[in-house]
Amino acid sequence: MAIESSVSAPLAWPRRHVGKLLLLVGVVLFLLYFAPQSPVLKALWQWSPALAVGFGQNILISLVAIGLGSFLGLLVGALAVSPLRLLRLPAQIWVQVFRNAPWLVLIYFTTYVFPFEIKLGSTYVSFPDWVKVTIGLALPASANVAEIFRGAIGSIPSTQWEAARSLAFTRGQIFRSIILPQCFKRMLPPWMNLYAVITMGTALASLVGVHDVIDTAQIASNTVNLTGFTVVIYLSLLVLFFAYCYPISRLTQRLERRYAFY
């Protein structure tokens, strides 16, 4: 029985997903055949490179925002679990403010509070809008990462702290060698889910003048000026974001099952 199950397991994947693969192949063939003939699909085909470049801008913003937010969040989270109230209080205020602030308000705030250019010596360096949007998304990301970090530390059984203290470990040694390795595994699934949410939040960047995929779609819709094209191009944006975020969601679920703690 064990041999039969091990042989049939690799064959189960194609049977489960053969319908999805056929549907995907059918859609691709449909687009390749009808795109040169339909004016709507022909226009979509012509604007596809510009949409890809715009979506690359969204991905860049999301990657930099989650990187900066994770760095700040780990610092704030470390302060939030400090035994000193003088250090905990600012961290708690940071988390509560930026977790409960609307993302669009933060984006507008960072867009107008930062200058358009920075003077470095005798030269002026531009401060692009996409960087301001990135900072605006990194602020709530840092608050959420801090909470994820604090929750991961709180989920570690207190008996591990007590056992380590009985072995004459210092608090820093316990934190670095015992607690942190377990925390990062527990943080990974919610951190990835947060990244997917930030990626979808980058759609707000077009409201402050960033030339992203939403702004490109608006320009294309106004240029082509066909109702059918407007519907199709925004449907394409849904497909783009779904195709990028859905694998992250599936991987998050797999990691949650793998690192499940009971």
The string of pLDDT tens digits covering residues 62-72 is: 999 999 999 99
Each residue's pLDDT tens digit, 150-163: 888 877 777 777 77
Asked whether residue 111 is domain-assigned, the answer is yes
**pLDDT tier at 17, thresholds 50, 70, 90:** low
Which residues are CB-contacts of 197 (< 8 A; sequence separation ≥ 6)? none
Residue 131 in domain: yes
| Contact between residue 70 and residue 145 where contact means Cβ atoms under 8 Å apart | yes
If one counts the domains in the chain, the total is 1
Q: Which is nearest to 132 in space by CA: 152, 114, 150?
A: 114
Residue 42 lies in a domain: no
Classify residue 18: in a domain, yes or no: no
Model-level pTM? Answer: 0.80
- 20 inside domain: no
Q: Residue 136's domain spans which residues?
A: 48-258
CATH number at residue 240: 1.10.3720.10
Report if residue 3 sits inside a domain. no
Residue 31 within any structural domain of the chain: no
pLDDT in tens, 166-191: 777 777 777 777 777 778 888 888 89
Is residue 4, in this structure, part of any structural domain at all? Answer: no
- The number of C-alpha atoms within 13 Å of 196 and in the hemisphere containing its C-beta is 20
